[in-house]
Amino acid sequence: MEKPTESGYEVFLSFGGPDTRCDIADYLYNSLIRAGIRAYRDNEELPIGKEIGPELVQAIKQSEILIPILSKQYATSVWCLMELVQMVECKEKWGRKIMPIFYNVAPSEVRHQIGNYHEAINSHINKRQRYTDETIQNWKAALSKVGALRGWELNERGKGEFTEEVVRTLLIELKRTTWQNLITWLKWMIKWTKSWKR
């Protein structure tokens, strides 16, 4: 995976299934936009036998914060699993931040692939002619890594209150990232200026 160019989006939302599309994902996306956060969401479903397109991979690579909305149906979507693998790669290679939302699922369900996640992975395993063992292992590894991260849990809270908390946290995190980038740039400028004066 080549290094991303400049950041095009501040936040990338990954979600799948009717349990989130017109529900929490829509609430959150619109709240992010209203708060002035450049957010990306993909409203298309991946056709069977297709891989995620280069524009979607670019959106993931260029986003500062990656938010998978891990719902009961998330792992049934091959598209979502492929996005999750890309997110983990971006975290490991370029330090992108993954901030998961556990939407009516426990983090342990995702981390250990039990319950709905076990059923979804088994369903994909039964389609081996479409998916290699390596692909399935990559999906399971990504689920384990993201399930081990601290994230938000919706549980019994109202969606309005919940999305407010997420947006507030993201605004703080994005300011921190901006300051870190500025400090890095200033250090580079000082170093460059000193080397130029010699």
Structure tokens at 36: 């002035």
Whether the CB-CB separation of 166 and 152 falls below 8 Å is answered with yes
Mean pLDDT across the stretch 6-14?
84
DSSP assignment of 49-75: TPPPPHHHHHHHHHEEEEEEEE-TTGG
Give the pLDDT confidence of 123-153 residue by residue, as tens digits: 999 876 688 899 999 999 999 999 999 999 9
Q: Known catalytic residues?
A: 83
Residue 79 makes CB contacts below 8 A (sequence gap 6+) with: 16, 45, 46, 52
Q: What pLDDT, on the 0 to 100 scale, is given for residue 46?
A: 44
Range name among 91-105, 117-131, 178-192 with the lowest pLDDT average: 178-192
Q: What pLDDT, on the 0 to 100 scale, is given for residue 175?
A: 85
Higher per-residue pLDDT: 121 or 189: 121
Report DSSP state, residue 6: S
Residue 1 makes CB contacts below 8 A (sequence gap 6+) with: 61, 86, 89, 90, 93
Q: What pLDDT, on the 0 to 100 scale, is given for residue 98?
A: 98
Higher per-residue pLDDT: 170 or 182: 170
User: What angle in degrees, to the nearest 10, is found between the helix axes of 24-34 and 159-197?
Assistant: 50
